[in-house]
Amino acid sequence: MAGPTGAAPEAAGGAPRGPRAYARRWVFLLVVSLLSCSNATLWLSFAPVADVVGQHFLLSVAQVNWLSLIYLVVSIPFGILAIWVLDSVGLRGAVSQTPHRDPPETILGAWLNFAGSVLRALPGAAPWILNPFAFLLGGQSLCALAQTLVIFSPAKLAALWFPEHQRATANMIATMSNPLGILVASVLSPALVRKGEGIPLMLGVYTIPAGLACLLATVCLGESVPPTPPSVGAASSTSENFLQGLKLLLRNKAYVVLAVCFGGGIGVFSSFSALLEQILCANGYSNEFSGLCGALFIVFGILGALVLGLYVDRTKHFTEATKIGLCLASMACVAFALVSRLQGQALAVAAICSLFGFFGFSVAPVAMELAVECAFPVGEGAAAGLVFVLGQAEGVLIMVLLTALTTRSADPSVSTCQHGEDPLDWTVSLLLMASLCTLFTCVLVLFFHTPYRRLQVESAGPPLPWTCAPEPSATSPVLAPAHEAPGSAPPAQRLQEALGPASCLQEPQGLTETVTRGVS
């Protein structure tokens, strides 16, 4: 029978079970990764061929940009609701009378994603539609709603299903599936849309992975939480207290610094991905080259995330990896702002995009894990989700500023843009983007400091049944050494301070020789 949230089931004889990892966690990881990848392809499918799309559907540059910007706008209000669903409704339902029912938030996201992909494909299949922009924007809006239910899942999935030594790697795989989708869109869209006649094919192709992800999510996602937690951190989840968790996050200065600065980095990366084709075509680079730069940006980002994720899983150097990665990414952003304005520098532009992705994208899963460590015992969905929501809000502001600061180019002769309007000069916008990236990095490096709270709790031992009013005990060498310093706080108080005010403590039961060591 299921116990309270985070309680470890008891084995025969009343002793609590130790941590256990289930093989099906990899199936869940695969499904969530495929869904996130599909959602990202739908987001950025128009950006690499923005000029052709505008010409084919008779849309302005601003309308085409809104097909990408709508993702950021929708995710701000609905992202908060999605965090509540992920951390409260879904998990609470998983530990009530139906302890292992389907996680409704992920399946709902899969169906919204598929419905949006079909709706936006209708103008291509039915060219007599009088207002194609309404269908395109409506489909993108449904996909954006799906994103809010999917994009927060990696940290929660890694925390609830994976043991401590695999969390960063699992988070990396699920998180990097999103930029992998951007990579697919960056390469596939220019390949399919050389002329306007290829747009219906592109829209139809992107419905296939969306439909597959919807089918797999509906069939395969059968449990929200495992019967036995894989770690003490999973057993210590307090995500059922949503409002209290938000209050704790707002009072956590280190978390606020991380959320604002790394959220700003997310905004810069989102704007860069959505505007890359328009920036490069104004200086004579083709759509195919823009797609190649976007692909290199993602490929090297995924490689960097793989290397950094494995390294952090072994060393737990979350803060150091995040700060160094963002510093190097800022340098690459400054280089792009300068070199992309030059003509005939294809090799240099491609190399800089590769470095920008390698140092920037690789930090994303590590920073999400760092947000969870910093915010513990607040739920993983809220800790990682609020960073993303704030990043989307900052992304909207950054993208609007970048497009508003553009001016009409005085020399349109080298432009390869096909949207029928004079090419834009992005010089001021790119310098602003580089300045913002550098500012966010400097603030994070100088003012962000935090203990790893979840790891500190996990070092106390295996997961044990919970009680909200434990008596201080001197039986554990971790929580209560045999020789206490005079005037030191009681063990239970020290652990409560580490966990925070929203937590309950574990009561030792069935103590073994290990936890009684040092007791006379």
Conformation bin of residue 12: beta by default, left when phi > 0, alpha when psi is -120 to 50? beta
pLDDT of residue 327: 94
Model confidence band, residue 411 (pLDDT cutoffs 50, 70, 90): low
pTM of the model: 0.65
Could you give the 3-state DSSP secondary structure of residue 10? strand
Q: At residue 516, what are phi and psi to the nearest 5 degrees?
A: -100, 5
Q: Quote the pLDDT of residue 115.
A: 94
Q: What pLDDT was estimated at residue 242?
A: 67
Q: What's the pLDDT band for 227 if we cut at 50, 70, 90? A: low
Task: Tell me which DSSP letter residue 108 carries.
Answer: H
Rounded to an integer, the average pLDDT of 405-423 is 68
Q: Which residue has the higher pLDDT, 516 or 186?
A: 186
Residue 514 carries which DSSP code?
T
SS3 per residue for 372-428: HHHHCCCCHHHHHHHHHHHHHHHHHHHHHHHHHCCEECCCHHHCCCCCCCCCEECHH
- For 171-220, write each residue's pLDDT tens digit: 778 877 887 888 888 788 888 887 777 888 999 999 999 999 888 888 87
State yes or no: pLDDT of 225 exceeds 70.
no
Residue 442 burial (CB count, 10 A): 14
Q: Average pLDDT of 410-425?
A: 65
pLDDT confidence tier of residue 488, bands split at 50, 70 and 90? very low
At residue 139, the pLDDT reads: 92
| pLDDT value, residue 165 | 75
pLDDT cut 70: percent of the chain above it:
73
Residue 273 has pLDDT above 60, yes or no: yes
Are 135 and 129 in contact, with CB atoms under 8 Å apart? yes
Predicted confidence at residue 96, as pLDDT, reads 31
**Measured CA angle at 288 (ends 198, 42), to 5 deg:** 55
Segment 22-49 shows an average pLDDT of 85
Is 80 exceeded by the pLDDT of residue 26?
A: yes
If phi > 0 it is left, if psi is from -120 to 50 it is alpha, else beta; for residue 116 that is alpha
Asked if residue 503 has pLDDT above 80, the reply is: no
pLDDT of 426-482, one tens digit each?
889 999 999 999 999 999 999 998 888 878 877 765 444 333 334 344 443 434 443
